[in-house]
C-alpha cells in the first residue's frame, strides 16, 4: 500500500530504545487526523468482506487502530495485555523480543471457535510479540485468523514474517 502521506508522517528515532535501533514512531500518525482517516479507510477496505467478528489489539499501540477498525467492521475488540492488567482469568504466552523477554495475555473467554479474528499491531519487526499473540489466538480454535500491521520493517536480520510461519494471511499498510 505504502501511502506516501503516511510514510511522510512516520517519525524515525535513532538509537531508541537502545543504540543501533531505528525506532519507527507511529504516534505521529495517530495525532494527525488525515493519517488516521487514511489508515482507517485502508484497513476497512482490506477486511470489510472477511467476516471479522473480533479484532485483537496488542498493547498498547495496537489498541488505537484495532479499536477503530473493530467499530468500523461491527466486530468486538479484544485487548492483549501485559500480565496482571486484565481483571478476569487469563491465558498467557511468553516471547523473546528485540530487547528482552515479555509475556502477553488475554481473557479466557475473549474468543471462541465461531470467531473470525484479526490480530492487529502497529509494527512487525522481529515477530516475537505477534507470534505469541498468534499462539494465544490459536488456543481458541477460531474459524479463521488474519494479521495486520501499520508498518513492517524489512531491514536485514528482521524476519518477523518468517517467524510467524505459514497458515495466516499477513497484511501491512507500510513497508520500510
Which domain CATH number covers 118?
3.40.50.2020
> Which of 42, 61, 81, 105 is the catalytic position?
61
Q: Provide the pLDDT confidence category of residue 156 given band limits of 50, 70 and 90.
A: low
Q: Tell me the average pLDDT across 109-131.
A: 95
Is 69 within the bounds of a domain? Answer: yes
55 three-class SS: strand
Q: Tell me the average pLDDT across 146-150.
A: 98
> Which of 37, 41, 45, 98 is the catalytic position?
98
Range of the domain at 166: 49-171
Which set of grid coordinates corresponds to residue 105? 495475555
8 A C-beta contact, residue 59 and residue 121: no
Is 144 within the bounds of a domain? Answer: yes
Which set of grid coordinates corresponds to residue 162? 518468517
Does 114 or 20 have the greater pLDDT score?
Answer: 114
Is 119 within the bounds of a domain? Answer: yes
61 catalytically annotated: yes
154 catalytically annotated: no
Is 42 within the bounds of a domain? Answer: no
Per-residue pLDDT, 72: 98
- pTM of the entire predicted model: 0.94
Burial (CB < 10 A; 0-12, 13-18, 19+), residue 23, is middle
Number of structural domains (the chain) is 1
Q: Provide the pLDDT confidence category of residue 96 given band limits of 50, 70 and 90.
A: confident
Distance between CA atoms of residues 152 and 173, nearest Å: 8
Distance between CA atoms of residues 125 and 120, nearest Å: 14
Q: Tell me the average pLDDT across 142-153.
A: 97
For the chain, what is the radius of gyration of the CA atoms? Answer: 15
pLDDT at residue 157 tops 90: no
In the block, cell 479484544 appears at: 78
Amino acid at each position: 500500500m505504502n501511502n506516501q502521506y503516511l510514510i511522510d508522517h512516520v517519525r524515525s528515532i535513532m538509537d531508541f530504545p537502545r543504540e543501533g535501533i531505528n525506532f519507527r514512531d507511529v504516534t505521529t500518525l495517530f495525532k494527525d487526523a488525515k493519517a488516521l482517516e487514511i489508515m482507517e479507510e485502508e484497513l476497512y477496505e482490506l477486511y470489510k468482506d472477511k467476516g471479522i467478528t473480533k479484532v485483537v489489539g496488542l498493547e498498547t499501540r495496537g489498541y488505537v487502530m484495532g479499536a477503530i477498525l473493530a467499530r468500523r467492521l461491527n466486530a468486538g475488540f479484544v485487548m492483549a495485555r501485559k500480565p496482571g492488567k486484565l481483571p478476569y482469568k487469563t491465558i498467557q504466552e511468553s516471547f523473546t523480543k528485540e530487547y528482552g523477554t515479555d509475556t502477553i495475555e488475554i481473557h479466557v473467554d475473549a474468543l471462541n471457535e465461531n470467531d473470525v479474528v484479526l490480530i492487529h499491531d502497529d509494527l512487525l519487526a522481529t515477530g516475537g510479540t505477534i507470534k505469541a499473540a498468534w499462539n494465544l489466538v490459536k488456543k481458541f480454535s477460531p474459524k479463521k485468523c488474519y494479521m495486520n500491521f501499520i508498518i513492517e520493517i524489512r531491514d536485514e536480520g528482521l524476519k518477523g514474517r518468517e517467524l510467524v510461519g505459514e497458515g495466516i494471511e499477513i497484511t501491512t499498510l507500510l513497508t520500510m
